[in-house]
Structure 1
Amino acid sequence: MATQVKVKKIKSVKRKKRHTCPHCEYNTLLCCNMKQHIRIHTGVKPYKCRQCEYAAITSSALKKHTIAKHTNIRPYRCQHCDFTSAWPGALKRHVLAKHRGERPYRCDQCDFATAWKYPLQRHHTMARHTGERPFLCGHCGFSTTKKRHLANHIWAKHSDEKPFHCELCDYSGKTRDQLAKHVRRHSNYRPHACSRCDCSSPIKQDLQVHLLTHMMNSLSCTVCGYSTIDKSRFKRHIARHTGEKLHKCEFCDFSAAYKSRVKRHMANRHAIETHRCEVCGYSFLAERNYHLHVRRHSNYRPHACSRCDCSSPIKQDLQVHLLTHMMNSLSCTVCGYSTIDKSRFKRHIARHTGEKLHKCEFCDFSAAYKSRVKRHMANRHAIETHRCEVCGYCTGQMPDLIQHIAAHASNTVTD
């Protein structure tokens, strides 16, 4: 009898379809990976941080950002130094680069080597070997390999616009990072300390500039020991001790040690290219500052703090407020008010204690705020008054003068 042989049918394995990017040569088997890759070309970042303006393409990148920037969790510690990291990969790269000296990523055309992959990619794309710089500046001879570098160059070198303004002083910057660095100077948090003296700074770059005073021939103040290598800064510092006022007003005898104060005086007293508030009479040289000021008179406060009940009409005010949660702030034991500004905290405490720090030079009047003493001196002792050119009426408050001039105008219309 013939034996029957059973033949097993082999199932055909279906090959998965590979997804190819229409913008570059990237391909993958998973559709979800392709969707994330496409966002690199389109610039869509759907995952946004709740505590800052950071946005990411993937949820894992947002998670890394949250742990690294908004928490103090650093479980991975270097055995050779004090370096800590939130991720094992960063610690591994640190050990390779700093302690072992290993640089696995090398350039094929030169001796350049690095411990990180991204610097090697940047090395290849920065025209190190080809010399090609297709993006040229129309104002000067600057050229670069990337379009965003050209945009940053034009913004920094050929644009006078500074949209980011400090709400505590007259400073304005071109970028949000410049404003954030400047705001730190108003705080008492100074983590960067000098190893040679008692000086400390809120910004690392300021400490590096300070260290030059120990290495170079610096200018030292004989009164308080202050030293710097910047002649203009040293000149302004000496003016504090001598009382010298270098900047003068063009219309009156007013003078000040800082140019910004003279500009503010000209705006308030002489109405030079100003934008004046109709509610309180305060005036500004810049129209943007005027619009920011007007918001403070309204009850519309769209910028709310995620950690407390505080809200603000201006975004920069909220950023300054967030520093009270991140830094060592001064807290009131009576009502819980907190701030990083010593002068504001001192004025706040005066509300509870009833202490009146500022006194009038001509009588026994005193107040907790310096502005109230100035108003008293203007009204009672005719100091720095505003005078009407029509009838000679004078007052210490600009809003009163505005109302008085409006009365003249209404009388003229009636007649």
Structure 2
Amino acid sequence: MSHCENTTIEKYYCKNCNFQTELSTIFKQHLETHLTKKQTLSHEEYSVRNYVCGKCTFETHSCINLLQHSIHCWSSTEKKGSVRYSCHQCEHKYKDLHSLRKHTILKHLNTNEIMWHHCTKCPYKAKLKTYLKFHMSCQHSNENDIKWHECQKCPFKAKQSSNLRKHVNAYHLDEREVKWYECEKCPYKAKLSSNLRKHAAAQHLGAKKNPKQKVHTTWYKCKKCPFKVKYKSSLKRHINAHHLDENEVTWYECKHCPYKAKQSSNLKNHINSHHLKEEDVKWYKCESCPFKAKHKSSVNRHVSVQHVDEKDVVWYECRQCPYKAKRVSYLKNHVRIRHLDDHDAKWYGCDQCPYKAKEKAYLKKHINAHHFNKK
């Protein structure tokens, strides 16, 4: 929290093992596991400096208790939206304490400090009660019991009103009505804050303001191949696209042609590229040249490659050769094509001849060049 800069987060470290925590009650319970029945625990063995509120005399050993106290203390003395609350452990800032508390629980609490919310119907568990409610609504509700939130401009519908708002903001608002989230390090901007965070993690993780600052990345690794990614949702998409049997895949089928896709986003891109009338296409234009594209991601790639000054470029360098790229996706493709062993690569085989390729795009080019419209 801002105005409480005089309090630094101190952890409790066990002298008998590697255990550590920020909560005194949890730490005291842990220490008791090392004691014999005749031993007692003195206060000095687990005391650290208190967290002190910057507005009143309140102090506590627990950062969570301080957050809970501050919600009431600060709300009574500050105007809403006038304060930005800073996380003590990273650079994130929030307009309200509820968001800061949510961030602290999700990002900075150890597993044994979290009060898990368990699903009664499957092994799923969540760090926040709202996440559990969302899970129950999506996974365990009967179709007839679901209250769908429908878009008034297209067939889209969602189980959560927040998802409908995101959809409307992403697809149906005029450019001047959109609240853009802009990247501080490149021309990228997004309609959703989550997309901006993903962009920053993927493209600028190595370009830190403070070179000494340690950036922790949690990688989600595929159990069936060397693939790893920073987001759990991306890992799920990877598994669905590459490792599920055909009968296990949920296909998204085009109503206009035989095309089908494993991801709804790919189907949307297909319809936008092949079945929309020219006057119905929403073009995304480059502000620096005549380039335009049907997909905003294509414009973002174009801008990062063509219009960013050399001194501002964050280069992604190959560890095995002099190759370097302006986008991490280009480097990944390079490594997969040039340096991955044949037995580790995922091959895309032609069903009409022995041709195979490491890139699906190359297979499509081959089919269009050699087999398209051939009987």
Q: TM-score range by the shorter chain?
A: 0.3 to 0.5
Q: TM-score, normalised by structure 1?
A: 0.38
Higher relative contact order (CA 8 A, sep 6+): 2
If you compute each CA radius of gyration, which structure gives the higher value, 1 or 2? Answer: 1
